[in-house]
Amino acid sequence: EMDNAAARDQTAPSQTPGPENTNTINVSTKKNPNFYVFLGKKYLEDHEEIELHALGNAVSTSVIAAENLVRNEYATFASIQTRTISVAGTRGEGKKAKLFITLKRHPDFKENREKFNAIRDENERLAKTKEGET
C-alpha cells in the first residue's frame, strides 16, 4: 500500500502540499453549509474536480453544501462513497462513517459564478441606497 502511494507521488507533477494545491475540503460541523458552498466555489476556480470529506455528524453539512453547488450549477456529482474508518476516541477505538463526495466543475461554472457575483453586487448596491434613505 505504502509503495503504491510513494510511486504515485513520484509520477505526480511536483506540487508542494498546501491548501492551494489540494482539491480536498475537510468538512466539519463547526461551520455551516454556506461556508462550504463558498469554499467549494473557490476550489472549483482552480480545480476541475473537488472532494468533500466528512466524518460523522459533518456528513449532512457536506451533503447540503454539495447539493447546493450542484443545484446552482457550479458543479456536477462525479461520485459519492462511504467508508467506515477507525477513530481513536476517549473510550478506545470506535468506528465512524466517512463520506467522500467528488464534484466536477460544471461546464457553465464561470458564467454562473459571474451571474452570482453580479446579483450579489447589485444587492449590496441596493442595500447601500436603502441605508442612505433612512
C-alpha cell at 97: 462513517
CB atoms within 10 A of CB 33: 19
Report the predicted TM-score, pTM, of the whole model to 2 decimal places: 0.76
pLDDT tens per residue across span 41-99:
999 999 999 999 999 899 999 999 999 999 999 999 999 999 999 988 888 888 889 99
Measured between alpha carbons, how far is 134 from 101 in angstroms, rounded to an integer? 46
Distances (CA, A) of 75 to 12, 71, 103, 111: 25, 8, 6, 12
14 pLDDT above the threshold of 80:
no
CB atoms within 10 A of CB 9: 10
Which DSSP symbol is given to 1? -
Measured between alpha carbons, how far is 38 from 68 in angstroms, rounded to an integer? 10
Mean pLDDT, residues 116-129 = 94
The residue with greater pLDDT, 52 or 21, is: 52
